[in-house]
Amino acid sequence: MDFPLPPPESLFFVCGPTASGKSAHAVGVCRELDGEIVNADAFQLYRGVEVLTAAPSAEDRAKVPHHLYGVLAPDQPVDAMAYLRMVVPVIEGLRSRGKTPVITGGSGLYLKFLSHGPSPLPPGDPEMRKELDALPLEELVSRLRELDPVEAARTDLHNRRYVSRALEVCLLAGVPCSSLRDDWEHATQKRAAKLRGVFLQRDRQDLHHRIALRTRAMLDGGAVEEVSALTQTTPGLEKAIGLGEIRRLLAGEIDRAECEELINAATRQYAKRQETWFRRETWLRPKSS
């Protein structure tokens, strides 16, 4: 990475599953810390889908400045590294004005890149992957043990994908995969000790009720019209919950009731995955909301 991450103690994170109340809580945090809200939700970066993605309301935006909402066209690709390059200058601008950046969202990888930085492991190389795929597992294991016995000892050597990736990292980086991982773990532990943030939690029944209310409000409030108006979209935006279901509704494949239930089910599953992710981030302070 060719630019430094913001100091961890200068940030405050408000995380949690979808529909847990992050936006409202973040407004309160901003009032306490003299802060401004910075988006860390992958879908809310896009404009034209504010209802579909449950972007902060006009009422919330009027209470405190919000940044990085609706800044991309639906056909503009973005990933965690691109997000990091977008968000760091925004954060530095807030810090220069003495404001606390309150990072708000539920996209785990985007939050992880900002809180701990991107992984130092090199990205996969298609040509090398093709060469490794042609080798028997026994040879991959033998080469990994030779190049990086530490990583080999802690890798499931029956899992071809794990063995191949560890060997690929060794070959691409020119150093043992284990040394990269261990250095990274040490650096992130030091950074995590200075991070501040909360992980909003709700009773499961309460969260599901909130999800159902939001889905109905979304369908009543313009999400169908938003999806109908979309022309070209990135593969990332295509993953937004509700987009595919509403397209099926518009095509006459399902009715309104089925569309609503499918969105509810997908959202509940997504919320469960988010909860699992955030519980692993032990530096986040659980907070009932």
- The answer, yes or no, to whether residue 3 has pLDDT greater than 80, is no
180-202 core/surface letters (b: 16 or more CB in 10 A; e: else): bbeebeeebeebeeebbbbbbbb
CB-side neighbour CA atoms (13 Å) of 59:
2
Residue 259, domain member (yes or no): yes
Do 109 and 136 lie in one domain? The reply is: no
Tell me the C-alpha distance between 116 and 8, whole Å. Answer: 8
Do 233 and 143 lie in one domain? The reply is: no
pLDDT of 125-153, one tens digit each?
889 999 999 999 999 999 999 999 999 99
Q: At what angle do helices 177-192 and 108-116 cross, to 10 degrees?
A: 80
Mean pLDDT for 11-29 is 95
- The answer, yes or no, to whether residue 86 has pLDDT greater than 70, is yes
Output the domain CATH number for residue 140: 1.10.20
Do 83 and 111 lie in one domain? The reply is: yes
Residue 143, domain member (yes or no): yes
Token duo for residue 48 = 């034209």
Domains in the chain, number = 2
- Let me know: does 63 contact 27? Beta carbons within 8 Å: yes
Do 106 and 227 lie in one domain? The reply is: yes
Output the domain CATH number for residue 60: 3.40.50.300
- The answer, yes or no, to whether residue 4 has pLDDT greater than 90, is no
Residue 189, domain member (yes or no): no
**What is the pLDDT at residue 71?**
97
Do 24 and 163 lie in one domain? The reply is: no
- The answer, yes or no, to whether residue 185 has pLDDT greater than 90, is no
- The answer, yes or no, to whether residue 43 has pLDDT greater than 70, is yes
Residue 261, domain member (yes or no): yes
Can you give the length of the chain in residues?
Answer: 289
Residue 192, domain member (yes or no): no
Mean pLDDT for 248-252 is 97
Mean pLDDT for 179-200 is 88
Q: Which helix (H) or strand (E) holds 39?
A: strand 35-39
**What is the pLDDT at residue 190?**
85
Residue 193, domain member (yes or no): no
- Let me know: does 45 contact 237? Beta carbons within 8 Å: no
Do 87 and 156 lie in one domain? The reply is: no
Do 101 and 31 lie in one domain? The reply is: yes
The set of long-range contacts for 29-32, using a CB threshold of 8 Å and a minimum separation of 24, is 29/102, 30/63, 30/64, 30/100, 30/102, 31/64
Tell me the C-alpha distance between 38 and 66, whole Å. Answer: 6
pLDDT of 210-225, one tens digit each?
999 999 999 999 999 9
Token duo for residue 23 = 């936006």
Do 225 and 248 lie in one domain? The reply is: yes
Q: Of 138, 154, 182, which one is at a domain's C-terminal end?
A: 182
Give alpha helix (H) positions in the chain.
22-33, 58-63, 80-96, 108-116, 126-133, 137-147, 149-153, 160-173, 177-192, 204-220, 223-229, 235-238, 243-250, 256-280
Evaluate if pTM is beyond 0.75: yes
- The answer, yes or no, to whether residue 1 has pLDDT greater than 90, is no
Do 161 and 283 lie in one domain? The reply is: no
- Let me know: does 263 contact 52? Beta carbons within 8 Å: no
Residue 80, domain member (yes or no): yes
3-state secondary structure of 197: strand
Do 141 and 42 lie in one domain? The reply is: no
Domain around 282: 8-118+202-288
Do 156 and 112 lie in one domain? The reply is: no
Mean pLDDT for 77-84 is 93
Confidence of residue 164 (pLDDT cuts 50, 70, 90): very high
Residue 3, domain member (yes or no): no
Do 206 and 104 lie in one domain? The reply is: yes
